[in-house]
Amino acid sequence: MDVTAGDVHDPKALPKLLVGGSECGGVSKAYMDSSYDLPAIHELLETKGVEAIVKPRRNSRLNTRSEARRRAISAYKSPRP
């Protein structure tokens, strides 16, 4: 567990949380709200082999530099049966 001050944003605390989760048996999926919808977060999770389940921000566009984030946005915006 990691405790931070109120001025630390959630995405900044994520790398430490992933390390802590790995010590406890590993992290395979990460469910996160739209505050984590950042290219750096998607790339970090992909390099760690963690499936990112992040709700894209309402104004998310596909022309992002992160391939991992583009895939997540496409999957979220695609019509479901």
The amino acid present at 56, given as its one-letter code, is: P
Q: What is the pTM of this model?
A: 0.70
**Regarding predicted confidence, which is higher, 81 or 77?**
77
Any domain includes 16 = yes
Domain residues for the domain of 66 are 10-77
Domain count within the chain: 1
HEC-encoded secondary structure of 33-80: CHHHCCHHHHHHHHHCCCEEEECCCCCCCCCCCCHHHHHHHHHHHCCC
Q: How many CA atoms lie within 13 A of 50 on its CB side?
A: 23
Any domain includes 5 = no
Q: What is the pLDDT of residues 9-52, one digit of tens each?
A: 667 777 777 776 666 677 888 888 888 888 888 888 888 888 88
Any domain includes 4 = no
